[in-house]
Amino acid sequence: MTEVVATNETILVVGGGISGMTAALEAAETGKQVVLVEKRPYLGGRVSQLYKYFPKLCFPTCGLEINQRRSKMNPNLTILTMAEVVDLKGEKGNYTASVKLSPRYVNDNCTACGDCEKAVEAQFDDEYNYGLGKRKGAYLPYRMAHPQRYVLDPRIIGTPDADKAKAACKYNAIDLEMSEEVVNFPCGAMIWATGWKPYDAAKIQPYGYDRIANVITSVEFERMADPSGPTGGKIVRPSDGKEAKSVAFIQCAGSRDRNHLLHCSRICCMASLKQCTYVSDAYGADADISVYYIDIRAIDRIEDFYEKVKAIQQVKFIKSKPASIVADKDGNPVVHGVDTEGYKRFANAHDLVVLAIGMEPSVDKDSFPVDIVLNREGFIEAAPENGGVFAAGSASDALDVNRAVQHATGAALRAIQVVNSVARAEA
Amino acid sequence: MADEKKFAGYICTGCGIGERLDAKQLQSVMTREGKIANCKQHEMLCSAEGVKLIRDDIDAGNATHIVIAACSRRAKVEAFSFTDVAMSRANLREGVIWLRPEGDEHQETTQEMADDYIRMACAEVKFLKVPKPSGEQALNKTLLVVGGGVTGMTSALEAAKAGYPVHLAAEEGRLGGVWADLYKRVPFRAAALGVPNGRDVDLPQPEDPGIDAMIAEIEASPLITVHLNAKITRTSGAPGRFAADISTESGGTVTENFGAIVQATDFKPYDANQLPEFAYGKTPDVVTNFELEKLAKAANGGPLKRPSDGKEVKSVAFIQCAGQRSTKPGHLPYCSGFCCTESIKQAMYFKAQNPGCDTTVLFDDLRTPGAAGEDFYRSGQQAMVTFTKGKASEVVSAGGSLKVKFKDLILNEDTEMEADLVVLATGQVPHVGPDPYAQLAVDMAETEEEKAAARKKLEVAPPSILNLDYRQGTDLPQLKHGFVDSHFICFPYETRRTGIYAAGPVRRPMDMKQAIEDAVGATMKAIQAAENAARGSGAHPRVGDLSYPSFRKEGCTQCKRCTVECPFGAINEDEQRYPQFNESRCRRCGTCMGACPVRVISFENYSIDTVGQQIKAVDMPDEFSEKPRILALACENDAYPALDMAAMAGERLSPFARVVPVRCLGSVSLSWITDALNSGYDGIVLMGCRRDDDYQCHFVRGSAMAAERLSKVGDTLQQLNLEVERVQVFEVAITDIKRAAQLINDMAATVEKIGMSPFKF
Amino acid sequence: MAKRQYSFYPGCSSQKGASSSNYLISVQTMCEELDIQLNEIPDWNCCSASIGYAGGGELPRLTLSARNIALSEQHNPGQDIVATCAACWLSTREAQERLHEDQSLLAEANSALAEAGLKLKGDTPIKHMAEVLIEDIGYEAIGAKVKKPLEGIKIAGYVGCQTNRPFGISGESFENPKYLDKLVETLGGDSIPGYEKKVQCCGGALAFSEPEKSQEMVKGIIEAAYDHGADMIVTPCPVCQMNVEVYQDQINATYGTKFKMPVVYYSTLMAVAYGRSAKDAALNAQIIPAKQLEALAAK
Amino acid sequence: MSTNQAMVEKYRNNFLKEVEANVEEGEWVKMCMQCGVCSGSCPLGKFWDHPPQEIFMMIRAGKRDEVLTSSSMWMCTSCYNCIVRCPRELPITHIMHGLAHYAKRLGLVPQNQPTAKFAQLFWDNLMKKGRVNELKLGMALYFMNGFGEGVKVAMKNQKLGMNMMKTGRMNPMEILGGHAVKDLGGFHKVMKKAQELEDARIAKHGA
């Protein structure tokens, strides 16, 4: 039975992505007791699945390493993975949270030696790679996963694979008897940092994501470009593994669209510009890159980066929301539409089309533990009605990492204001 | 047992260490050579039982300095968390067996590798001390907020809400700053939930700016002291003990002490006189977006009048990106981010009091991001604001009205429109002090052009805002376009002056909502800095590190390398021109230690010796052994993890490599290099982080400083008659999993080519 | 089991001696087999399709449909209106939605209807026959009646525009509706799921005013069917059927093609699969005979 | 003064307002976000002088005559591709019909615009008997450009006609009477009233 030590001066942070980690660490490093709850088996969230950041083209794992070290070192921080908040009772300054812990089937004896993975046979789609690759039924989600502990896929429990894994472990780290449990503990304030999920590309029917192998999403492309990713960093066509030198990026794929997401997801323009550099780095003069856009939203200092990418000869910008994509006989996705600057109709065949997929907030208003003020787009609005619950990062709006971190740092202060007033009241 | 050192060593045989290596041999190395008699083995040291084994020794007073020979220092950190003793970890798992192939032919060299890591850990631990806080300062909860705009007011209010007193210093005679003239603000919220499938009804409208309410709140707060017409004429000290002279126009100066500082000086409106093509200054009917707010506020809901003749405005054109996103001299190269929604809002002013007024927004890319942004765009369209994708080229006044010439990018034609009033959507210029390194830039400039450019920048440098009495200049360092430097992705608030945080448009252009949110975050960091200073704990990224730099005064030659190289300007010079370390300004990167030619600077848990002795401890086979030794000094945040992951990925590393993690390449002392060469190392590989404008060094300049220092290492090599290839410096990222190992293997190949070092004794 | 009752709006082209009179015949046969009773809206009028806009303004056009719905409410109360013609369905359903959204328009339409003593409530569900089949009857029930599976007959499902957009069949996408393919499979035939022209426009009413432009598009529709080895094309829309079938001679003349692609209704297929005669399936009304269906019907 | 001139007077330089007030669904034009998906989606797109998005931009730019005298709107096949793809859910098909109708009302349609003529024939045809008489419509269509032209077209379509008759899908007898609504009087009254109300609303806006 898991024990969580907490009081009504404890801050509960929900979501262990960049926003949740930031909020939790900033509060903990100010001397506050923090419990961080993450649904996945590891921290880092979506940024752990990015290859590079715009505009610096540096590596998310670099900052993640610092944050992970900060969390390993900090005595004020309790981390619960594979955990979800199922209920929150009480009011600002005096809540009781109920957190559901799913079984990992691996205890903290695990040394991440990898013997169980070798022993297990069953394979599943690798969610870390958005299903582009496979992973074993016993797995370390990715090399830098923190906590550095293996996970057993629940689907192998009760199969011979589970016993093989157990037999292979020299450290008695595999516990097949683990079962779901719910822990209740007090907290004074809650920071909701559940981030975002990529919009379901199959719903954007004209672009044929569900019909055309060589139409993929920007998040999938990010995994593809990562040298530690499913293709070892090679930019290729899913249909035939052929090098993808002619790549089209389609902006506002699901965003700014009343048929899909009402809001502008803010990051997609920059993400595509960044991904242009992946293709250009990979194929140089042989690259042929097209960006189909409505407005390029390279806001503030990031304009520099837009200029930098515009300077790449192999990159074309076409002001158009393409009408449709159809596959030709060779499986090339052909993008149809009109260049609205002068009305030139086009039907351009590419090796690969990348949909700059929109950000859908991961805030489910029906299952949300307390009453909360949401906007029409589904993001949490700051409001006194929310009591001691504060959104951080992309739960509050479509934000890039820089803005998510700023916002999360602020959220930490909002929570501290609550627990400090509790402390003052009790002093 | 006060200062009596009791050494203990623990060798883990789990994870294959026991199978792949001769544990007896390891133990004898530790006891005989490492001189650690109290040495134990365990088949799973990280287990509760193994940890207890160690804990018991410590609690029994039998261990004050311990060596753990097991996995990487990055693994099992929580299990091996013995904060009350000095600890060194020998990396036998990721560092040796996972990087080495199995098989008898490899056994000897692999074992030697492991033996050396034991020797190195034993050597290191002897020179480690458990850091104790200096108690240099007590808790000072009071914050200084510089800037009376929305950003500064927010910072003050939020700090007060958390129970922290604030002094708010405003340049102007009233609060509100650049935002004071706003008639209305762009709505903060997106459309409310419950409007059926996103129909374009009930969309957000321009709303009260809320400035007066803020001012009232500030005046009502017992924790906030406001200084109007105030300048900061001197700032000294460090987090927890800042002292600032606040001088007001009346001539009076008060000196107050602060725990931390927030600079929220916002922006200055762009000077539109640099836009003659748009007839600014030629006719009063061309105004900037900032000036329009004044007109709107004066009209106060009534019809907006033309400045020239007071005629009611019936048609207005907004020119977006005026003097922005342009490389023309005098223009701003960046996008100010706020102007698109600002113009929509202002167009709606006209529509609100006269729906018949023609309002046209000439834009290139309309930038209304997020939920609230896109909703407000539709809100403007609902109000029948016309959006025309076009580039304005010229404004000419023609008989009582204005002609705006532009290229319609959609209809692809050069055309023009008439308007009673033209509004230029001009940008934000960060309101910051002079770049402290402007002078340095002149000195460092290589070409004459660069020098000239740097000089120009120096001439037009604005007056100081903080007047820091720091050795490295009066204000916060800048990165680009005058915006304050920080890792603006992962750690946006980490400026290069510990305890002083920039908030709002001084960091990057932003609208009011963002400035408010940004202020909350900066305030969080300021509060944290004050609290950590009181604990004697380091600031980001080494929060909790209680060590701090100390130096042997008698050895110091006052060369000033440390005071010049510190990336955070933490070190001053005292009246006798000795360095003055200001512990709580220090980020514990060790760059000063690396800079010091006479090796007098050290930390209790990181010093010339803790690394130097490891280098010496390595067993050095003779010239004819065909067993070269390659030293790799790797940044602990990027290169070292990359090597760990190379091990997990099954990469292979030369058995002749000996890898030592360093806090930052900036902390690398040339003495380590020369000692290593003198003691017979055949090659040295230094791996640090990217150091250009897009630097990844988490100590900002550490890696760059190191590179500069090491550029001179060639001379050392020549003096020793050694080939220059024997020492190489690389930028290595945490993702360079293959490459990190490859670079070391390449050095092994180089050594094979050029031969062993003659300096083996 | 009691018969399902629907208020039926056949539309002009289904009338005796009109261009899709064969559609009506096969639909009636199909309905007999499926126990569907169609109660024709007495004295219905033309909906003006989507081409009446030159002469007809907004209100007059809406009033045309309003009259039909009002008649249905009066004479077939409580019955869903079902149309077989895509244009009829679309105009009627659109009119009802417009009038529902705009109360002032509704009031005006009603004061017009009052001239003939009619009143529109406007709450009657308006369905296309395809909706009735897929949503009300279901593939299983449809398949249960099959006596002569369409074995070995390869059929391209051509959905066209107005049966598909903007309303379409629930659960189907605008770009790749699958129901005709499922229907063909249900009847034992071979479908062509990858038929890329299934929602290509045939030109609609512009087949008359802009024949060349329309026929260029029809050419593509037929070509793609041949490319996939189709024996025939099936469609739920009389305009599509007409445009794709009857101009093949002219297209051959213009482009030197040798098209002879039969184009039938889903109801034609069902009538045959249900073992009914060529006459009941109105196969005799094919300008390009559907030989395999004739053979099967003759068995 | 023609209604056209009257409208020019009334709305001066603001064609967008004129469209908003007088064109069916015209109030949507201002909501276009200029993405161009409609123009790319139109099956006859390549035949439009000005595709839908451009028409919207021209309306905003006040290019009144160019828009209303254009034959673009008459190219709409009512396929609804643009409607279902428009990210702002503009009822583009209906706006095109509305513009076409408005142009027709103002008498600005280009000479011999075939769809304009056919659409008018269709309307007149259905208004006579309440139901379309395909035969008469077909004949009228053939001869809409005069007798000589008509004979040519008729000859070209002769085979088609024969086929239709053979298969019972065209009935020569329709030339006499043909299908009709029974309550023709009532039908005409209803439509007359509808037209009156329509005219009244138009008058409110000045045309």
Residue D139: enclosing H or E segment and its boundaries? helix D134-142
Q: Which of B378, B381, B413, B416 to mutate to test the interface with D (most CBs of D within 10 A)?
A: B381
* Contact residues, chain C, for A206 at CB < 8 Å: 174-175
* Contact residues, chain B, for D31 at CB < 8 Å: 200, 378, 381-382
Measured distance between the N- and C-terminal CA atoms of chain D, rounded to whole angstroms: 11
Closest residue in B to A393 (Cα–Cα): B517
For chain B, the average pLDDT equals 95
Nearest to C99 by CA among C51, C53, C67, C76: C67
- Tell whether C125 lies on the interface with D, counting CB pairs under 8 A: no
Assign A89 to helix, strand or coil.
Answer: strand
Q: Return the exposure string of C216-225: e unless at least 16 CB atoms fall within 10 Å of the residue's CB, then b.
A: bbbbebbbbb
Angle at CA of residue B609, ends B603 and B614, nearest 5°: 125
Residue D80 tokens, joined: 């609804």
Quote the CA–CA distance of C286 and B67 in Å, as a whole number: 93
Angle between helix C238-246 and helix C211-227 axes, rounded to 10 deg: 90
- Tell whether D2 lies on the interface with B, counting CB pairs under 8 A: no
Q: Which of D15, D57, D63 to mutate to test the interface with B (most CBs of B within 10 A)?
A: D57
**DSSP string across A225-236:** HSTTSTTTT--B
Strand order in the sheet with B413-419: B286-288, B421-424, B315-319, B358-363, B386-398, B401-408, B413-419
Domain ranges of chain B: 1-130, 143-266+431-535, 270-428, 550-591, 620-761
Residue B40: enclosing H or E segment and its boundaries? strand B39-42
> Chain C closest CA to A56's CA: distance in Å?
39
Quote the CA–CA distance of C297 and C287 in Å, as a whole number: 17
D156-173 average pLDDT score: 89
Assign B243 to helix, strand or coil.
Answer: strand
CB contact under 8 A, D31 and B378: yes
3-class DSSP string for B360-390 = EEEECCCCCCHHHHHHHHHHHHHCCCEEEEE
* Contact residues, chain C, for D173 at CB < 8 Å: 17
Quote the CA–CA distance of A294 and B374 in Å, as a whole number: 13
CATH 3.30.1330, domain B620-761, yes or no: no
Write the residue in D43, D119, D194 that is nearest to C112 by C-beta.
D194
Q: Which of B44, B46, B82, B367 to mutate to test the interface with A (most CBs of A within 10 A)?
A: B367
Q: How confident is the model at residue B196 (pLDDT cuts 50, 70, 90)?
A: low
3-class DSSP string for chain C = CCCEEEEEECCHHHCCCCCCHHHHHHHHHHHHHCCEEEEECCCCCCCCCCCCCCCCCHHHHHHHHHHHHHHHHHHCCCCCEEECCHHHHHHHHHHHHHHHHCHHHHHHHHHHHHCCCCCCCCCCCEEEHHHHHHHHHCHHHHHHCCCCCCCCCEEEECCCCCCCCCCCCCCCCCCCCCHHHHHHHHCCCEECCCCCCCCCCCCCCHHHHCHHHHHHHHHHHHHHHHHCCCCEEEECCHHHHHHHHHCHHHHHHHHCCCCCCCEEEHHHHHHHHCCCCCCCCCHHHCCCCCHHHHHHHHC
* B348-367 pLDDT, tens digit each: 999 999 999 999 999 999 99
Write the residue in A205, A206, A326 that is nearest to C196 by C-beta.
A326
The phi-psi region of residue A319 (left if phi > 0; otherwise alpha if psi is between -120 and 50; otherwise beta) is: beta
CB contact under 8 A, D122 and C51: yes
Nearest to A193 by CA among A24, A345, A351, A69: A24
Sign of the C-alpha dihedral, residues A10, A16, A21, A23?
negative
* Contact residues, chain A, for C176 at CB < 8 Å: 205, 208, 211
Q: How confident is the model at residue B133 (pLDDT cuts 50, 70, 90)?
A: confident
CA dihedral B538, B544, B547, B549 (to 10 degrees): -20
* D97-145 pLDDT, tens digit each: 999 999 999 999 999 999 999 999 999 999 999 999 998 898 888 888 8
Assign B263 to helix, strand or coil.
Answer: strand
For A163, residues 6+ apart whose C-beta sits below 8 A from its C-beta are A176
Amino acid type, C156: A
DSSP state at residue B479 = E
Residue A280: enclosing H or E segment and its boundaries? helix A267-283
CB contact under 8 A, A345 and D45: yes
Q: How confident is the model at residue C232 (pLDDT cuts 50, 70, 90)?
A: very high
The phi-psi region of residue B560 (left if phi > 0; otherwise alpha if psi is between -120 and 50; otherwise beta) is: left
Question: Range(s) for CATH 3.50.50.60 in chain A?
Answer: 11-102+180-195+362-426, 199-359
* A160-198 pLDDT, tens digit each: 999 999 999 999 999 999 999 999 999 999 999 999 999
Write the residue in D14, D53, D57 that is nearest to B358 by C-beta.
D14
Quote the CA–CA distance of B548 and B536 in Å, as a whole number: 9
Residue A55 tokens, joined: 């505009």
Does residue B2 have a pLDDT over 70? no
Does residue B611 have a pLDDT over 90? yes
Quote the CA–CA distance of C274 and C148 in Å, as a whole number: 6
Domains of chain C: 4-129 (1.20.1050.140), 148-298 (3.40.50.11810)
Does residue C150 have a pLDDT over 90? yes
Distances (CA, A) of D93 to C51, D41, D50, D84: 11, 12, 14, 10
What whole-number percentage of chain C has pLDDT above 90? 98
Write the residue in B200, B377, B411 that is nearest to D61 by C-beta.
B411
Strand order in the sheet with A333-339: A324-327, A333-339, A344-349
Angle at CA of residue A237, ends A234 and A239, nearest 5°: 135
Task: Quote the distance between the C-alpha of residue B482 and its chain's center.
Answer: 15
Given this model, what pLDDT does residue B310 score? 94
> A11-102+180-195+362-426 belongs to which homologous superfamily?
FAD/NAD(P)-binding domain (3.50.50.60)
Domain boundaries A199-359, CATH class: alpha beta
* B397-424 pLDDT, tens digit each: 988 899 999 999 999 999 999 999 999 9
**DSSP string across B385-431:** -EEEEEEEEEEEEETTEEEEEEEETTTTEEEEEEESEEEE---EEE-
Please provide the CATH number assigned to the domain covering B550-591.
Answer: 3.30.70.20
Place of tokens 């997020």: B370
DSSP state at residue B51 = H
- In a 13 Å sphere around the CA of D3, the CA atoms on its Cβ side amount to 16
Write the residue in D78, D120, D130 that is nearest to C54 by C-beta.
D120
Distances (CA, A) of A75 to A29, A371, B77: 9, 32, 12
A403-410 average pLDDT score: 98
Nearest to C282 by CA among D160, D169, D170, D135: D169
CB count within 10 Å of CB B573 equals 14
> D3-109 belongs to which homologous superfamily?
Alpha-helical ferredoxin (1.10.1060.10)
Nearest to B617 by CA among B660, B668, B666: B660
**DSSP string across B328-367:** STTS-SS--SSHHHHHHHHHHHHHHH-TTSEEEEEESS--
What whole-number percentage of chain D has pLDDT above 90? 70
The fold of B143-266+431-535 is FAD/NAD(P)-binding domain (3.50.50)
CB contact under 8 A, C56 and D123: yes
Quote the CA–CA distance of A356 and A322 in Å, as a whole number: 13
Does residue B1 have a pLDDT over 50? no
> Chain D closest CA to C194's CA: distance in Å?
20
Amino acid type, A216: I
* A96-153 pLDDT, tens digit each: 999 999 999 999 999 999 999 999 999 999 999 999 999 999 999 999 999 999 999 9
CB contact under 8 A, A339 and D36: yes
Contact B380, B364 (CB under 8 A): no
Domain ranges of chain D: 3-109, 114-197
Q: How confident is the model at residue D206 (pLDDT cuts 50, 70, 90)?
A: low
Given this model, what pLDDT does residue C104 score? 94
CATH of B270-428, one of 3.50.50.60, 3.90.1530.10, 3.40.50.10320, 3.40.1280.10: 3.50.50.60
For B103, residues 6+ apart whose C-beta sits below 8 A from its C-beta are none
* A78-98 pLDDT, tens digit each: 999 999 999 999 999 999 999
Given this model, what pLDDT does residue D69 score? 97
Tell me the Cα Rg of chain C: 19
Contact A217, A358 (CB under 8 A): no
Residue D68 tokens, joined: 């209303």
Given this model, what pLDDT does residue D14 score? 86
Q: What are phi and psi of B95, to 5 degrees?
A: -75, -25
A249-259 average pLDDT score: 97
Given this model, what pLDDT does residue B198 score? 59
* Contact residues, chain A, for B738 at CB < 8 Å: 227
* C244-288 pLDDT, tens digit each: 999 999 999 999 999 999 999 999 999 999 999 999 999 999 999
Distances (CA, A) of B202 to B193, B195, B345, D26, D86: 10, 8, 16, 20, 21
- Tell whether D88 lies on the interface with C, counting CB pairs under 8 A: no
Strand partners of residue A151: A139
CB contact under 8 A, A205 and C196: no
Does residue A426 have a pLDDT over 90? no
Residue B374 tokens, joined: 């896109």
For chain D, the average pLDDT equals 92
Does residue D207 have a pLDDT over 60? no
Sign of the C-alpha dihedral, residues B198, B202, B207, B213?
negative
Nearest to B335 by CA among B426, B267, B408, B406: B426
Nearest to C237 by CA among D79, B308, B11: D79
CB contact under 8 A, D168 and C285: yes
Nearest to C230 by CA among C193, C186, C283: C193
Query: H helices within B82-199, ranges in order?
Result: 104-126, 150-161
Given this model, what pLDDT does residue D11 score? 80
Residue B66 tokens, joined: 């311990």
* Contact residues, chain A, for B194 at CB < 8 Å: 376
CATH 3.40.50.960, domain B1-130, yes or no: yes
Quote the CA–CA distance of B756 and B626 in Å, as a whole number: 8
